[in-house]
Structure 1
Amino acid sequence: MDCSGHSGEDRAAAEEIKDQAAVGNEETMRTVSHHLDNVSKDLSISFPFIPLLFPVLAGEDMVVCGSEQRKHTVIDFVDKINSLKPKAHPNHKVVLWTKDQEVRPKGVIGVCYERGESAALNLPDTAILDANACVLRTVPYRGVLLSSLRHKRRFPSDAALIAFVAATLTNLSSL
């Protein structure tokens, strides 16, 4: 185990999957936001990326959990959401995937949980994206700063989605 709570083997496997996702143009963020939109009970949220984005921008911890079969999806999602996250420290190591459920570093991390375990997961003050059931458990966003992201849009790729969100956040910071 290294200082971030996972073995070198886990880190190497996660980096390999991350590289494969970059080559294969994995569309994890679009897919996850689409599925969350389909299962959303709150009809006022037409663009479900806001509830995914808000905890990250607010500096809250987020656990993206999934079974071993969803490892590729979890790693890709954690990597992409971390690209939008403000960086707190240059030495911060992103934990893309770990099987160690006890050690929980700060930030957005990917953790291996089987379907039954992830459904019962309850972590105080932590947003949870359950990739097994495609459910997001977090405090609802009721603000207006991200309201420009509420309009339903279609993006050809995750890269286009990330670029749009980054441009929107850049416009917010220039106000």
Structure 2
Amino acid sequence: MKRTLVALAALCALSPVFAQTSAPASASAPAAQAAASAPGASKREARVEERIADLHSSLKITPQQEDQWSKFADVMRDNGRTMADLYRQRIAQRETMSALDDMKQYEQITQANADGTKRLVEAFEPLYASLSPEQKKLADTSFRDEHGKSKRTHAHRRPHAAGADAASATKP
């Protein structure tokens, strides 16, 4: 189980779609609303929802596990929205950022990944404990397979490339 949680944490650190933090105060409300309603935002939300549905089905979540599942899925959604917001801000400010601003923003994104991963693990742990042995095997395989796929995907990516869409393309 510890190995699975470590793999989950490592995967989430590589998958910014699942990280979470507060959006910076400097983001204006109208700009944030416009960005959230953009077609890209809908695609990212759809990918998160698709992954949640796929996991729910593949793990064979029972009615008794729905409460723990809902908490886990909500963290996935929150993490996805938060990282999408952070990457949209980064893209919007890219041309005017100083090197120091760039490093600070990277720090914020990295911290968001760490915070989101922690919350994701905290939400997953009680769910994993409630799984039957068969479901745990399914979870172990699913996360291990996705981790390997995510690692291969990231191996050929340039640093700081592509922004929010690329960042949200990987799955847990």
Q: TM-score normalised to the size of structure 1?
A: 0.26
Which protein is bigger by CA-based radius of gyration? 2
Q: Which has the higher helix share?
A: 2
Q: Report which of the two has the higher share of strand.
A: 1
